[in-house]
Amino acid sequence: MDAPIDNDNSLESLFSNAEPLKEQGAESLEQNLSLASETQEITNEVLDAESEFINSLHKFQAEQESIILKAKEMLPTQCSKCDAYIHSKKDKGSIVKNKCCFQCFTAERGQITMEAESAIESSKMELIATMDLSDYEEWLFDDDLGYRCLARIIAKMQSQGYEYRPWQISIGAAAWSKDNYNNTSLEDTRYLVERVKPNELIQYIPDSVDGISTVIDSIKRAEEIRGIGTKSSSSKYHWPIIGGIAGISIIIPYLMKRK
């Protein structure tokens, strides 16, 4: 009978001992929950602070970029080619239209124009080299400066004892110049022919009207060697005729003057 009573006492003792533990566990749990709540609040505050900082930073950066952009817009534009600052309306308009300042644009256009003029001048000189002798003589001497050039040549020949008629010297000088033409301007061509040595010039001076064909034939052969002469075989028979016509057209005015 004593044993059941002891068991009851043991259970009561167990429950009585467990009650403080239960209270301690509840209190510890409550403390843990409170600590966790405080930790979460702190964490949320930190996250909110970080978020606010990031937002403020982005806003600040955007404001700074806007300030820098406005400052750049206030600075004068620079030419992409010469780095010069653009101030005038002319340069500003050129920047919009041509992507460079007006000075750079005009320099480029001037270079293009010079190249075009050079190409045209080169083509013109090539055409001069293929002229008939009569046309070349007219190109060389047929203006006031040309008359002076021819007069100097005549005077030089006479001063050195050569007594050729003016028409002979005119044809000879034109023939020499055409045979030695090297794509020079009219001014430079006259400069060279004025300074040709008489012993070189007399080789081109015809002794008579009949000698004009000989001069023209010699020029023709020289042009064929240089590749400038005409390629048509029929044109070979036209040279004496052209030379005769050129000679007559040049001789008549001089003869009339002498009379």
pLDDT digits (tens, 9 = 90+) for 176-195: 999 999 989 999 999 999 99
The residue out of 95, 129, 163 marking a domain boundary is 129
How many domains does one find in the chain? 3
The residue out of 97, 129, 161 marking a domain boundary is 129
Between 11 and 64, the more confident residue is 64
Asked whether residue 135 falls in the same domain as residue 252, the answer is: yes
Position 146 scores a pLDDT of 95
Between 248 and 93, the more confident residue is 93
Position 222 scores a pLDDT of 60
Q: Is a pLDDT exceeding 80 seen at residue 19? A: no
pTM of the model: 0.43
Asked whether residue 159 falls in the same domain as residue 242, the answer is: yes
Position 85 scores a pLDDT of 79
Asked whether residue 108 falls in the same domain as residue 33, the answer is: no
Asked whether residue 176 falls in the same domain as residue 160, the answer is: yes
Asked whether residue 162 falls in the same domain as residue 214, the answer is: yes
Asked whether residue 207 falls in the same domain as residue 228, the answer is: yes
Between 147 and 221, the more confident residue is 147
Q: Is a pLDDT exceeding 80 seen at residue 12? A: no
**Which stretch of 47-51, 82-86, 164-168 has the lowest confidence by average pLDDT?**
82-86
pLDDT band at 256 (very low <50, low <70, confident <90, very high): very low
Mean pLDDT of the chain: 77
The residue out of 129, 159, 193 marking a domain boundary is 129
Asked whether residue 146 falls in the same domain as residue 253, the answer is: yes
Q: Which domain holds residue 161?
A: 130-258
Asked whether residue 7 falls in the same domain as residue 97, the answer is: no
Asked whether residue 112 falls in the same domain as residue 31, the answer is: no
Asked whether residue 98 falls in the same domain as residue 213, the answer is: no
Asked whether residue 160 falls in the same domain as residue 238, the answer is: yes
Asked whether residue 167 falls in the same domain as residue 111, the answer is: no
Rg, C-alpha atoms of the chain? 54
pLDDT band at 33 (very low <50, low <70, confident <90, very high): confident
pLDDT band at 110 (very low <50, low <70, confident <90, very high): confident
